[in-house]
Amino acid sequence: MAAKKRTTRRSAEGKRSRRTTGAATAQRASDGESESAAPAHGGGPRAFWSGTITFGLVSVPVDLYPAVRSSRTPLRMLGPNDQLLQRRYYCSADDEALTNDDIVRGYEWPDGSFTVVNDEELESVAPRKSRDIDLQRFVSRDEIPPKMLQRPYVLAPAGESTKAYHLLAQTMEQTGRAGIATFIMRGREYLAAIFAEGGLLRATTMRFVDELRTPESIGLPAVPKLTGAQRKDAEAALTELKTDDLDLEALEDDYTRALLELAEAKRAAGRDVVEVEEDMSNEESETADIIDIMSVLKQRLGPASAAAPHTASEKTARARKDATAVAAAGRGSQKRSRKTAR
């Protein structure tokens, strides 16, 4: 499966504002100029990133799409003139309004002094440019502790042939294995777990160990030896609550629903409604991008299986599809009744 030269198309680079601060931010600009992400099949929403899974000497080109999206409706800031406010930078010493050209990046040392660094310097230590998702080993799925999981993505096959993709997805699913991979995305190193389910591959970035506290570093007491009698109460209490049904209704975002219901009620009553000139956010297009993943997958992998969905969440996801389609058109979809979500 040779990674064919793909048509150049700009990645979703500039659009993503939610990212960690730090060195990565500095490299964003340069990264976006020299690299490009492109779905090989032309149509469909843009991929978040494109890369090639390499395991052994086998290459599987894939496009990454976010597997989750934010459901929270942001509370925006309005000024007295009914204007959406914008964030601006000022010098803290003389209140001078600053443009991007006036601003540099400084690392603060514990003594309060700063070391100023520029993009070129940060680029000199940037990881090598590579699109390889280096799948180094396979582990049992339950060996990956949830505390390490960070951001999930769906991997869609890219490139001309999807055979290697099917082979990897199928074999991993049958053997119950998850893959552990490392890769470099937009100037940052990532550790990731790759999962196969329902004929599809998903990847989740993982926290490095130094990003996690340990029981020792927190100062928790050492784990004692437990007797059967001590475990009895815990086991009884847990068994009492044991069920096969993950109650998805209890995992819905009630706050956002209540917030939107309140806002809609106020609009119906004509209270505190503000018309603002063109909103600058590109939120809508992003939402539409994400919701179209299924069409990309269908296009590249053939029609969706008629078989039962594999996980509880896929079950809701499936049931929710109609409601979600509305979400692409407008925000009213959050109002959908609990019944449709079941």
How far apart are alpha carbons 29 and 19 in whole angstroms?
Answer: 13
In the complex, least distance from residue 106 CB atom to other proteins, rounded to whole angstroms:
4
In the complex, least distance from residue 73 CB atom to other proteins, rounded to whole angstroms:
6
Interface with other proteins by CB under 8 A: which range of 7-15, 36-44, 148-156?
A: 148-156
Alpha-carbon separation of residue 263 from 81, 281, 309, 333 (angstroms): 20, 19, 35, 13
What does the DSSP 8-state code read for residue 176? T
- Asked whether position 92 contacts other proteins by CB under 8 A, the answer is yes
* Neighbour-count burial for 66-82, b at 16+ CB within 10 Å, e otherwise: beeeeeebeeeeeeeee
In the complex, least distance from residue 312 CB atom to other proteins, rounded to whole angstroms:
6
What does the DSSP 8-state code read for residue 249? G
- Asked whether position 29 contacts other proteins by CB under 8 A, the answer is no
How far apart are alpha carbons 188 and 27 in whole angstroms?
Answer: 9
Residue ranges in 64-83 that form contacts with other proteins under rule CB under 8 A: 65-71, 73-81, 83
Interface with other proteins by CB under 8 A: which range of 8-16, 28-36, 39-47, 233-241?
A: 233-241
The answer to whether 62 and 201 are in contact (CB under 8 A) is yes
Residue ranges in 238-297 that form contacts with other proteins under rule CB under 8 A: 238-256, 258-260, 262-264, 266-267, 271-279, 284, 290-291, 293-294, 297
In the complex, least distance from residue 48 CB atom to other proteins, rounded to whole angstroms:
12
For tokens 């996690």, the residue is 212
In the complex, least distance from residue 42 CB atom to other proteins, rounded to whole angstroms:
19
- Asked whether position 230 contacts other proteins by CB under 8 A, the answer is yes
Q: Kind of pairing, strands 97-98 and 114-117?
A: unpaired
- Asked whether position 149 contacts other proteins by CB under 8 A, the answer is yes
